[in-house]
Copies of this chain bind each other. A is one copy, B any other.
């Protein structure tokens, strides 16, 4: 491992740890003011950001990045404005730090409860989209955490430009500038060093493709909050409102098929075989390739036959799996076996079935009569998200400022001793 990269991460880690204590209890108003100031600076420095971004794009083109990657890298006017608005929305959210609750009096008079506090230092490892720099830093500051940002090498100039503005915002409000750090080098060894910096970093959050997330989970000696697949299901119950079911199922697949919360498999109750043909008509007209179970293919011969792998695949495009199920139990069994525990929805007018689905589906988000596409931090009112967790512990689903905090027990006594 390069000693330079290790030494650099060590220094950043020490600085982050020291600043974490200072930033943890910064007043809510100061944090919000600093965030609004950062948003203003991002807007005002739009041209400077875009100049840096143009250099990244040029370098990316020379390196032969795909058009899709170049698109994700590009900071248009609209994307810079969205970045500033995101930071302002995070400023406007309630501050989770210091919330105290569940305080109960014990028989010996001790009052025991819980206080919400920052986790400490967050290590954020992400790819191409430079707007993540602002989102992640804003959520960490809001929640009183220090952060070490490690963006993709293809976006290093854009990230540096955005980071400089964020640091100016910290400085303007006398907040420690080491609370938002960007790894300034593109050496990949810095990632390895960050993943082992367990003396300084409390959580690692990877955000990017599967291979990045896999590498991070494998190598990290620090707890990881991760997002793996988004294999989401929409189940159309026999008691579904059919018009609603059609609109929601199609939206869940096609509104933005490349996202993790797009539906990959539609499960249809067998009582709805006529409706199924309406659904396949619309999907085919929209250019969606449908891979069906045997029953679905028997109902509509235009479908391809799904193979075993399809049910466990995040297609991330205009392909959908379609399965006919005999009842709610079969739908629940299929979801239990194939879901990546990201987001599942039921379309039904039957209250008992809706509640059973909500209870029994073991996923980060479970929805009734809504498109799975809503499962993100912005739609949930978190302003933005630093990631979407498919893990079960600590944080599930969109991870916002609240999820970047933890609880400690607080005990108020009057001299009690244990007998």
Q: Which residues of chain A (368-415) have a CB below 8 Å from chain B? A: 368-371, 373-375, 379-381, 391-394, 396-398, 406-415
Interface segment, one of A48-56, A156-164, A240-248: A240-248
A262 (CB) vs chain B CBs: closest residue: B418
Q: Counting CB contacts under 8 A, is A266 at the interface?
A: no
17 of the cross-chain contacts (CB-CB < 8 Å) are A25-B359, A104-B381, A106-B380, A110-B370, A110-B379, A223-B393, A241-B415, A248-B415, A363-B408, A367-B413, A368-B413, A371-B417, A374-B418, A392-B406, A394-B394, A396-B409, A397-B408
Contact (Cβ within 8 A) A366 B409? yes
Decide: A417 and B251 in contact? CB cutoff 8 A.
Answer: yes
Contact partners of A409 in chain B: CB under 8 A: 364-366, 375, 380, 396-398
When A and B form their complex, which 8 residue pairs have the shortest distance between CB atoms, in order from nearest? A370-B413, A251-B417, A244-B415, A367-B411, A373-B418, A394-B394, A369-B413, A365-B409
Residues of A27-42 at the interface with B, using a CB-CB cut-off of 8 Å, are none
Residue A187 CB within 8 A of the other chain: no
Residues of B contacting A312 with CB < 8 Å? none
Could you mark each residue 216-245 of chain A with 1 if its beta carbon is under 8 Å from any beta carbon of chain B, else 0?
000000010000000000000000010010
Judge if A8 is at the interface, Cβ distance under 8 Å: no
CB of A358 within 8 Å of the partner chain: yes
Q: Is the CB of B120 within 8 A of A411?
A: no
Taking the closest CB of chain B, its distance from the CB of A233, in whole angstroms, is 14
Do residues B336 and A21 form an inter-chain contact, with CB atoms below 8 A?
Answer: yes
Q: A286 within 8 Å of B by Cβ?
A: no
Chain B residue contacts of A115, Cβ below 8 A: 358-359, 366
Which residues of B are found within 8 Å of A258, using beta-carbon distances?
A: none
B393 touches A393 (CB 8 A): yes
Nearest opposing residue in chain B for A252, CB measure: B417
Instruction: Please pick, from B241, B255, B362, the residue contacting A120 in the complex, using a CB distance under 8 A.
Output: B362
Within 8 Å CB of A320, what residues of B?
Answer: none
Judge whether A138 is part of the interface by a CB distance below 8 angstroms: no
Is A416 an interface residue when CB atoms closer than 8 A count as contact?
yes
Q: How far is the CA of A24 from the CA of B98 in the complex (A)?
A: 32
**Is the C-beta of A202 less than 8 angstroms from some C-beta in chain B?**
yes
- CA A106 – CA B359 in complex, angstroms? 22
Q: Are A251 and B418 within 8 A (Cβ)?
A: yes
A375 cross-chain contacts in B, Cβ below 8 A: 409, 411
Output the nearest chain B residue to A255 by Cβ-Cβ distance. Answer: B418
Query: Cα distance A57–B214 when bound, in Å?
Result: 47
CB pair B381–A106 under 8 Å, yes or no, is yes
Having A394-B394, A397-B409, one finds 11 other A-B pairs with CB under 8 Å, namely A106-B381, A112-B381, A241-B415, A364-B408, A366-B411, A370-B415, A371-B413, A374-B418, A379-B418, A393-B394, A396-B409
- Judge if A175 is at the interface, Cβ distance under 8 Å: no
Say yes or no: A415 contacts B247, CB within 8 Å.
yes
Within 8 Å of chain B (Cβ to Cβ): is A360? yes
Q: Is A180 an interface residue (CB 8 A)?
A: no
Q: Point out the residues of chain B lying under 8 angstroms from A251, CB to CB.
A: 417-418
Report whether A360 and B418 are in contact in the complex, using a CB–CB cutoff of 8 Å: no
* Nearest neighbor of A380 in chain B, beta-carbon distance: B112
A117 within 8 A of partner (CB)? yes
Question: Contact partner of A368 among B21, B247, B411, CB < 8 A?
Answer: B411
Contact status of A120 and B392, CB under 8 A, knowing A367-B411, A410-B366, A417-B248: yes
User: In the assembled complex, how far is the CB of residue A30 from the closest CB belonging to chain B, in whole angstroms?
Assistant: 16
Known: A106-B379, A112-B380, A409-B365. A371 touches B416 (CB 8 A): yes
A83 on interface, CB distance cutoff 8 Å: no
- Indicate whether A203 reaches chain B with its CB closer than 8 angstroms: yes
Cβ–Cβ < 8 Å partners of A379 in chain B? 106, 110, 418
**In this complex, what residue of B is CB-closest to A360?**
B25
The answer to whether A183 has its CB under 8 Å from any CB of chain B is: no
